[in-house]
Amino acid sequence: MAVSPSERGMWNSKLGFVLAAAGSAVGLGNIWRFPSEVAENGGAVFVLIYLACCFLIGYPVMVAELTIGRKTRRNPYGAFRALSSNPIYGLIGLWGILCGVGILAFYNVVAGWTFSSMFSEIFLAAGNTELAEYFANTGDGTKNAIFSAVFMVVTVFVVAGGVSAGIEKVAKTLMPVLVVMLLVLIGVVITREGAGTGLAEYLKPDFSELSVGLIFQAMGQAFFSLSLGMGALITYGSYLQSRQDIPEAAVYVTFADVGIAFIAGLLIIPSMYVAQNVGIEIFDEGGALIASDTLVFNVLPALFHTMGGLGVFFGVSFFLLLTFAALTSTISLLEVPTAFLVDETKLNRKTSAAVMGAIILVISIVTSYDLSWIGRLNLIFSDIGLPLGGLLISLFLVYVWRTSNALKEIDNGSDSSLFIQVWPALVQYVAPLLIAIVLGTTLYNVFA
Ligand code: PHE
C-alpha cells in the first residue's frame, strides 16, 4: 500500500527529530536499568564496556537504521521489502516489529510503576500511609494493570496525534524538563554523606569482574538504551527530511543517551550509599548490591523518606522524571507497529495506534498479574532480540542493499570525510563480528 510522505508525516525540524529520537533512547533503560546493571556488574568496568558497545556497535547500527528509513520512507517491514526483491528479508522487519510489541508489553508495566510511585510519594507527604503503601506496591496485579492501562492510553493518544503534532511536540516539551530535573536531583544527593563512596564504586573499574556474561549484558543494554535493533530508528528515520545530516544527528542522539545514562548513574549509585549511611539495607544476603526493581522502587524511596520536606520534593520529582522518560520511549515503541499498520493496511493512524495499543495492553495486563513475564519478555525480545535484529540489519545493509548505496543516501546532507572513512568498516566488520561473537557465546552458554 503506497502512502504518500505527506500522509505518513514528517519531522518539523532537525532539533525536533533529535529530541524525539533522544526521547526514544532516553528512558527506563537509562534511569532504571543502567544503574541497576552497573550495581550488579561491578561498577565502572560495566560502564566502560557499555560505552565501547555504544560507540563501536550502537552508533554504526543507528546510522544504518536511519539511512534505511529515510531511503525507503517505510515502516521496518516495508523498508526491507522495498530494498530487495526477495520477500524473505521482510522477516527482519517483522521480527523488529514483534520485538517492539514484546518490549512495550513489559515496559508499560514498569512505566506504570513509576507513575503510581509518584502518587505514593504524594500520599505519604499528605500523611495517608495506607494509600501510600497501596500505590507503592509493585506486587498488586490490579493496580499494576490499571496504571499500565493509563500509560498505554496516554501513549496511544500521543501517537495518534501524528509525527510532528504528537510525538515531536511531546519530546520537545518533556526532554528539556527531564534534563533539568535530573541535574537538580544530583545536586541534592551528591553533597550528602556516603555519596563519595558511591562515586568511587561507580567510577573506579575492577577488571577482575570482566566476563563474557558482563559483555553480553553491556551489549544488550546498549541496544536497549539506544532503541536499536527493532526498527524504531528505521521508523523515525522514515520521517526525516531528505537533506538532513544523518551521521551528525546520530552523534547527537548517541551522546544524549549515553550522557543521560551516565548522569543517571551519578544520581543513583551515590544515592544508594547515602541510603546505607542512614541505615537502609543496600546489600542483599549474598553481599551483592541490591539491584533492578528493588533499587529504584524500594531503596531510593526509603532514602527520600529520611530527608523530611526535601524528601517529598525529591521523591515526587524523581518519579515524575522517570514517568516522562518512560513516556517518550513508549511512544516510539508503539510508533513502530503503528507505522506498520499505517503503511501496509488501509487503517488510518488513529485507528492503527488504538488497535496496536489494545493488543499490547492485553499482554501488559497478563504481565501485571504475573511479573515473571517481565524477565521472559525482556530476555527474548530485548536481550536476545535486539542484538539479533541489529546483526541482521547490518548484514542486510552490507550484503543485500550494499554499503555503497547506503553511502549515496547518507551523502544527502552529510559531507563528513571522517565518517566515510570510519563507518563502513564499523558496519561491515566491527559491529556484526562483535555482535555475533557475544550473542553466539551467550546462546551457547545458555543452551549447551
Ligand atoms: N531506549 C528505551 C529506554 O532506554 C527503550 C526502548 C527500546 C525504546 C527499544 C524503543 C525501542 O528506555
Nearest CA to ligand 1 atom 7: 227
Which residue ranges have their beta carbon within 6 Å of ligand 1? 24-25, 27-30, 103, 224-225, 227, 230, 232, 329, 332-333
The pTM score is 0.94
Which residues sit opposite 283 in a β-bridge? 289
Query: Which helix (H) or strand (E) is 280 found in, with range?
Result: none
Residue 63 vs residue 210, higher pLDDT = 63
Centre of ligand 1 to C-alpha 126, Å, is: 34
- Round to whole Å and give the CA distance between 5 and 418: 31
pLDDT class for 88, splitting at 50, 70, 90?
Answer: very high
Centre of ligand 1 to C-alpha 227, Å, is: 4
pLDDT tens-digit profile of 232-258?
A: 999 999 999 999 999 999 999 999 999
pLDDT tens-digit profile of 301-343?
A: 888 888 877 888 888 989 999 999 999 999 999 999 999 999 9
- Round to whole Å and give the CA distance between 221 and 197: 25
Share of the chain above pLDDT 90, in %: 67
pLDDT class for 445, splitting at 50, 70, 90?
Answer: confident
From the alpha carbon of 257, which atom of ligand 1 is closest? 4
Residue 5: what residue type? P
Q: Is 280 left (phi over 0), alpha (psi -120 to 50) or beta?
A: beta
pLDDT class for 2, splitting at 50, 70, 90?
Answer: low
- Round to whole Å and give the CA distance between 330 and 332: 5
Centre of ligand 1 to C-alpha 58, Å, is: 13
From the alpha carbon of 229, which atom of ligand 1 is closest? 9
Nearest CA to ligand 1 atom 11: 227
| Average pLDDT over the chain, rounded to an integer | 91
pLDDT class for 6, splitting at 50, 70, 90?
Answer: low
Centre of ligand 1 to C-alpha 234, Å, is: 14
φ, ψ for residue 349 (rounded to 5)? -60, -45
**Cell representation of residue 120:** 505514593
From the alpha carbon of 28, which atom of ligand 1 is closest? 12
pLDDT class for 100, splitting at 50, 70, 90?
Answer: very high
- Round to whole Å and give the CA distance between 75 and 338: 9
From the alpha carbon of 332, which atom of ligand 1 is closest? 10
- Round to whole Å and give the CA distance between 115 and 108: 11
pLDDT tens-digit profile of 120-131?
A: 999 988 989 999
Which range is most confident: 2-16, 29-43, 300-314, 327-341? 327-341
Amino acid 173: pLDDT: 92
φ, ψ for residue 368 (rounded to 5)? -60, -35
pLDDT class for 111, splitting at 50, 70, 90?
Answer: very high
Centre of ligand 1 to C-alpha 439, Å, is: 19
Nearest CA to ligand 1 atom 9: 227
pLDDT class for 299, splitting at 50, 70, 90?
Answer: confident
Centre of ligand 1 to C-alpha 331, Å, is: 10
- Round to whole Å and give the CA distance between 76 and 235: 6
From the alpha carbon of 330, which atom of ligand 1 is closest? 8
φ, ψ for residue 205 (rounded to 5)? -75, 140
Residue 290 has pLDDT above 70, yes or no: no
From the alpha carbon of 29, which atom of ligand 1 is closest? 4
Nearest CA to ligand 1 atom 6: 227
